[in-house]
Amino acid sequence: MQRQIIPQTMGQQFGRRSWAEPWKIKMVEPIRMTSREERERAIAEAGYNTFLLRSDDVYIDLLTDSGTSAMSDRQWAGLMLGDEAYAGSRNFYRLEATIQDYYGYRFVVPTHQGRGAEHLISQALIQPGDVIPGNMYFTTTRLHQELAGGRFVDVIIDEAHDPQSEHPFKGNVDLGKLQALIDEAGAERVRYVSLAGTVNMAGGQPVSMDNVRTLRELCDRYGIPIYLDATRMAENAYFIQEREPGYADKPIAAILKEFCSYTDGAWMSAKKDSLVNIGGWLAVNDEEVFDAARNLVVVYEGLHTYGGMAGRDMEALAIGIEESVQDDHIRSRIGQVRYLGELLVDWGIPIVCPVGGHAIFLDAKRFYPHIRQNEFPAQMLAAQLYLDSGIRAMERGVVSAGRDPETGDHRYPALELVRLTIPRRVYTQAHMDVTAEAVKAVYDARMETRGLDMVYEPKYLRFFQARFQPLVA
């Protein structure tokens, strides 16, 4: 159905017309393939946690698309234009105007990265006992909401929890679930709706324009604001353009701005869509919320005209925002992700469908049906991929879900996934071929693979630092 933008493999069709990246390569960074013995040593030292590997030991790094993008020559040139004044840097004013222009919010607070902005908005808005509904949790987002005394409640549609559902907008909010929550908790307890574009934990699945529009109507009835995790909203806009009636001829930039117009503010990890290695922001329309956040930013991040970023970072970010909403850029970005997904689907490997915006998610439950969830099948799958070919992926399953703060038990998410995240403008189609072949090799050896035992567990965001050992038969 979306075949027209998928590059077809050689000889498949005569007269085919492929897309290609709207850039060429000016500088390269050598990478090194290790031996199997080196990788065995490295993963054991890393406690079978790919976050604890050294990047020098990694061949193709698909851990995350966060801060790993390649900047353009224009962005690198922008670094030279940094105004490193402590207060009132010219780069801040340019960034502020760019955010206002492309995202449409009134007030901007810069932060060092996304979680800095999550911290500010959570502290500014949430009172102990508040309920925060959202379309599936994200690790840092939910933690900041909980640390502020809030309780996150998932109100995403059921299809999002089913890796085989082909629903085109699996990121949508289930308005029935939200209504039930409002009825049960009381509208005054529902502090805001925490809405995310291309829902990461569901496999990079988009939210439709129709969904955010009707969500706005429902929230208006109760005076509940909507705050958006805009981290991958440019990618979300692409899916709207592709799938939603009436949007095929609208540019990505226009779709992005319309979507944001249904929300009251947003936080951003600029390390994703915006093509920079560090940075973030919070932007809101309500002046009181802005005042609170601008006051908090000086405590936790830095003065309100840099928020933890250098002047040069803000300049590169302003340029990155402009580049991130170009239709050609997004088409090739998502086209590359799909190329990898198509290869895996053709080989019968279980992945989350439809393929999302920034990553391929391997379905570890179907990959390793013989490994129980409390033996961390996705964690083991990521380790096996590294062992096979030096490819680094990330667990997004029971380890990432953490423990229930009330019962102390593991949270067992329906989705037990391994994320192969594609950095923007970094790897070639040949790297995608090598990756697909590595997944296939691990899949072919799946029945010989066993689970893991967790031997060290940190208190917060345990997936970053937990350590494991293979279970022996």
Which segments within 21-80 are labelled E, that is strand?
A: 60-61
Question: Measured from the CB atom, is 66 or 373 closer to ligand PLP?
Answer: 66
Q: How far apart are CA 111 and CA 73, in angstroms?
A: 24
- Side-chain half-sphere exposure of 239, counting CA atoms within 13 A: 28
Question: Measured from the CB atom, is 342 or 395 closer to ligand PLP?
Answer: 395
Q: Six-digit token pair at 464? A: 């970053």
Q: How far apart are CA 129 and CA 152, in angstroms?
A: 10
Query: What's the count of helices (H) and strands (E) in the chain, helices before strands?
Result: 16, 14
Q: How far apart are CA 48 and CA 469, in angstroms?
A: 7
Question: Measured from the CB atom, is 208 or 373 closer to ligand PLP?
Answer: 208
Which residues are paired to 173 by β-bridges? Answer: 156
Question: Measured from the CB atom, is 114 or 451 closer to ligand PLP?
Answer: 114
> Nearest approach, Cβ of 115 to ligand PLP (angstroms)?
3
Q: Six-digit token pair at 10? A: 């050689």
Q: Six-digit token pair at 268? A: 């951003």
- Side-chain half-sphere exposure of 432, counting CA atoms within 13 A: 25
CB 416 within 8 A of CB 363: yes
> Nearest approach, Cβ of 52 to ligand PLP (angstroms)?
17
Question: Measured from the CB atom, is 66 or 384 closer to ligand PLP?
Answer: 66
Binding pattern for the stretch 193-232 against ligand PLP, x by CB under 6 A and - elsewhere: ---x---x----------------------------x-x-
Residues 54-113 that bind ligand PLP (CB under 6 A): 66, 113
Binding pattern for the stretch 291-330 against ligand PLP, x by CB under 6 A and - elsewhere: ----------------------------------------
Of 102, 103, 105, 138, the one binding ligand PLP by CB under 6 A: 138
Q: Which of 71, 67, 34 is nearest to 53 (CA)?
A: 34
Residue 272 annotated among the catalytic residues of the structure: yes
Q: Using the rule CB under 6 A, is 135 a contact of ligand PLP?
A: no
Question: Measured from the CB atom, is 31 or 426 closer to ligand PLP?
Answer: 426
> Nearest approach, Cβ of 229 to ligand PLP (angstroms)?
5
> Nearest approach, Cβ of 199 to ligand PLP (angstroms)?
8
Of 105, 138, 238, 386, the active-site residue reads 138
Of 57, 229, 313, 363, the active-site residue reads 229
Q: Distances in Å between the alpha carbon of 371 and those of 262, 280, 380?
A: 43, 38, 10
Q: Which of 68, 58, 5, 30 is nearest to 426 (CA)?
A: 68
Residues 239-298 that bind ligand PLP (CB under 6 A): 269, 271-272, 280
Of 170, 272, 331, 333, the active-site residue reads 272
Q: How far apart are CA 4 and CA 405, in angstroms?
A: 46
Binding pattern for the stretch 324-363 against ligand PLP, x by CB under 6 A and - elsewhere: ----------------------------------------
Q: Which 8-state DSSP code applies to residue 47?
A: T
Place of tokens 């998610």: 361
Q: How far apart are CA 429 and CA 426, in angstroms?
A: 10
> Nearest approach, Cβ of 1 to ligand PLP (angstroms)?
26
Q: Footprint of ligand PLP on this chain (CB under 6 A)?
A: 66, 113-115, 138, 140-141, 196, 200, 229, 231, 269, 271-272, 280
- List residues with catalytic annotation: 86, 138-139, 229, 272, 396, 463
